[in-house]
């Protein structure tokens, strides 16, 4: 079942066309990550889908409603967790939840607060002041407040920026539990590890949705071939390789470099040319990061062409 089925989505800010003819379908209970450079139009797209921002054009359904005519109904069924979520630092976890429940005029308040505390593993800490919590726990509380009204759609804006790896993992485990219960999740992110935890990915560039699918599908469709080079000072090869024909991207990963392209012959020729004898090359499966680096490089080329 589709939670989102929208086409022809456009948005202008003044004379700037920031979302261009986006068509998108999202299955119910799927977690979809949206990636793309700063200012690409991710947040604007997601806010329009959730009824938080009025599009200039577009038609279709979100959560079974006409997403433009019934934008308010869609908005009410959406939970929104922004990067800079606001909590009341001098209230406890439980008081924060109870406060949000009152502000939104929710029914069954006590029951909802108890359920959210349980669901997100906050019950033992419910009397702790929000201000005294670590980043990971604050973020979990923010998630609890975002789902208190039992939304059908959850919008997360770079949800684990600045959170340590253990807390990130636990946060994502909770997101998956919510999705398993039918919640559809849209995530805007710059982090590859977050993207890899999503079921599907959308890549937005200059307001256009240019890649869509699972990580594996996007990697396969890119046709990207990647070689990994290892050896002493291998990082110094990044610059000379970057300029060569057939090399779409070259970048350092720890003590190795990844060199990618779509034309095998040209790529191998470039590597042969830079062979120093000390560098060992092996072909490796392209990663999502390799593909995104290439997509970003394409954008740079577009700019030069414009």
Give me the residues that bind ligand ATP (CB under 6 A), please: 13, 18, 36, 38-44, 188
Nearer to ligand ATP, 26 or 259 (CB): 26
Nearest to 151 by CA among 182, 122, 173, 117: 182
Measured from the CB of residue 6, what is the shortest distance to ligand ATP in angstroms? Answer: 16
Nearer to ligand ATP, 45 or 260 (CB): 45
Nearer to ligand ATP, 48 or 267 (CB): 48
| Beta carbons within 10 angstroms of residue 55's beta carbon | 22
Phi and psi at residue 31, in whole multiples of 5°? -110, 115
Question: Which DSSP symbol is given to 130?
Answer: G
Instruction: Look up tokens 């995104």; give the residue.
Output: 292
Q: Are 153 and 50 in contact (CB under 8 A)?
A: yes
Measured from the CB of residue 218, what is the shortest distance to ligand ATP in angstroms? Answer: 18
Please give the structure tokens belonging to residue 155: 């919008």
Measured from the CB of residue 277, what is the shortest distance to ligand ATP in angstroms? Answer: 42
Nearer to ligand ATP, 218 or 237 (CB): 218
218-235 burial code (b ≥16 CB/10 A, e <16): bbeebebbbbbbeeeebe
Measured from the CB of residue 40, what is the shortest distance to ligand ATP in angstroms? Answer: 4
Nearer to ligand ATP, 16 or 236 (CB): 16
Nearest to 42 by CA among 183, 211, 222, 167: 211
Burial class (CB in 10 A: 0-12, 13-18, 19+), 29: middle
| Beta carbons within 10 angstroms of residue 56's beta carbon | 12
Please give the structure tokens belonging to residue 187: 């995530």
Nearest to 230 by CA among 167, 194, 188, 284: 284
Measured from the CB of residue 42, what is the shortest distance to ligand ATP in angstroms? Answer: 3
Measured from the CB of residue 37, what is the shortest distance to ligand ATP in angstroms? Answer: 7
Nearer to ligand ATP, 41 or 246 (CB): 41
């Amino acid at each position: 079942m589709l939670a989102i089925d929208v086409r022809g989505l456009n948005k202008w800010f003044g004379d700037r066309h920031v979302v261009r003819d986006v068509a998108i379908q999202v299955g119910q209970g799927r977690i979809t990550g949206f990636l793309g450079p700063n200012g690409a139009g991710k947040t604007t797209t997601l806010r329009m889908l959730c009824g938080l921002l009025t599009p200039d054009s577009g038609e279709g359904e979100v959560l079974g409603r006409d997403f433009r005519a019934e934008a308010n109904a869609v908005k009410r069924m959406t939970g929104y967790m922004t990067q800079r979520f606001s909590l009341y630092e001098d209230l406890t976890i439980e008081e924060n939840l109870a406060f949000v429940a009152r502000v939104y005029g929710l029914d069954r308040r006590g029951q909802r607060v108890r359920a959210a505390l349980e669901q997100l593993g906050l019950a033992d800490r419910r009397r702790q002041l929000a201000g005294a919590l670590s980043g990971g726990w604050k973020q979990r509380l923010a998630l609890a407040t975002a789902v208190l009204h039992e939304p059908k759609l959850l919008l997360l804006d770079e949800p684990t920026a600045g959170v340590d790896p253990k807390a990130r993992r636990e946060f994502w485990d909770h997101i998956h539990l919510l999705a398993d219960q039918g919640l559809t999740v849209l995530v805007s992110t710059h982090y590859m590890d977050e993207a890899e935890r999503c079921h599907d990915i959308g890549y937005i560039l200059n307001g256009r949705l240019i890649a869509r699918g699972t990580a594996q599908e996007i990697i396969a469709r890119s046709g990207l071939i990647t070689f990994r080079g290892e050896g002493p000072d291998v990082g110094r090869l990044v610059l000379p390789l970057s300029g060569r024909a057939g090399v779409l991207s070259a970048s350092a990963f720890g003590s190795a470099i990844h060199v990618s392209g779509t034309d095998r012959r040209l790529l191998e020729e470039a590597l042969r040319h830079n062979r120093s004898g000390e560098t060992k090359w092996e072909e490796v499966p392209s990663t999502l990061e390799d593909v995104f680096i290439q997509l970003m490089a394409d954008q740079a080329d577009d700019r030069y062409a414009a």
